[in-house]
Amino acid sequence: MEENNDLISLIREKDTFARHLGMEVIEAAEGHAHVAMPLGEATANAIGIVHGGAIFGLADYAFALAANSEGILSVAIESSIQYMSSCQSEGRLEATSEKVSETRRLGFYRMKVFKPDGEVIAVCQAIVYKKS
């Protein structure tokens, strides 16, 4: 995993939600990120599939890392998710985030969340505001 700035270190150390769910950073650099999360009882909804909030949380973590990977403090101002299929709460999910475009103050990102077999189960779009 490449870690090129203090913001990535801050997110990795201080994001207690991500840590609670066992999210790990595989890579975070130059406008993209790749993360993973183990699945189990803590990520399951009432019918035993992965909770939509867990899926979105993993995508959001990838988004935060990608958006801050270039050393500019950036915060989300909009995000949306589309669920494409369900997933049993076993194994592990992975998510990627890529910068699509940017202006001086805004960054536009696309995220994908993958089942353990590699199938895409959700896609997201998000916008950040660059604070500094």
Cα separation of 125 and 82, whole Å? 9
Cβ–Cβ < 8 Å for 124, 111: yes
Q: What is the pLDDT of residues 11-47, one digit of tens each?
A: 999 999 999 999 999 999 999 999 999 999 999 999 9
Q: What pTM was computed for the model?
A: 0.93
**What are the structural domain ranges in the chain?**
6-130
Q: What is the pLDDT of residues 45-97, one digit of tens each?
A: 999 999 999 999 999 999 999 999 999 999 999 999 999 999 999 999 999 99
Cα separation of 69 and 7, whole Å? 7
CATH architecture of 6-130: Roll (3.10)
